[in-house]
Copies of this chain bind each other. A is one copy, B any other.
Amino acid sequence: MTTVSAIDREKGTAFLPRFDAQGLLIAIAVDSITREILMVAYMDEEALAKTRETGLAHFHSRSRGKLWLKGETSGHFLRVQETRVDCDQDALVMLVKPEGPACHTGATSCFYRKLEGEELAPIAG
């Protein structure tokens, strides 16, 4: 077993993804052109491997307990163009080319509302 220190993760050049106690890390998808945040979900080791192998974003569905190819039913795949890694390597930002609305509601982004007091209001544009 190899021990990986916090310094290795922060300063090193090795990709050493840190999955949490549930075996997950956070993966944020951002439109590579508009830089809008499209969605956020979780990846386990399998989803990360499939994403890297295919270039299409895969996640781990916690509700269904299984691998989830984003777009598998809608055809709205997210093509990964660049993957960024945070300091402690437990979160990723993927710059993607979306092949349709990223949200299952039909919205471009899942973040289509903002908090105004106790209520939610649509985001203009």
What residues make up the interface of A, taking CB atoms closer than 8 Å to B? Answer: 10, 12-15, 20, 26, 28, 30, 35, 37, 39-40, 62, 82-88, 91, 93, 103-105, 107, 110-115, 118-121, 123
Other than the known A86-B110, A91-B111, what 15 A-B pairs have Cβ atoms closer than 8 Å? A14-B119, A15-B115, A20-B62, A28-B37, A30-B37, A37-B93, A83-B114, A83-B115, A84-B115, A84-B123, A87-B105, A87-B107, A87-B110, A91-B110, A93-B111
Nearest B residue to A52 by beta-carbon distance?
A: B115
Per the bound structure, the CA–CA distance linking A124 and B61 in Å amounts to: 33
Q: Please tell me if the beta carbons of A28 and B40 are within 8 angstroms of each other in the complex.
A: yes
B112 adjacent to A87 (CB under 8 Å): yes
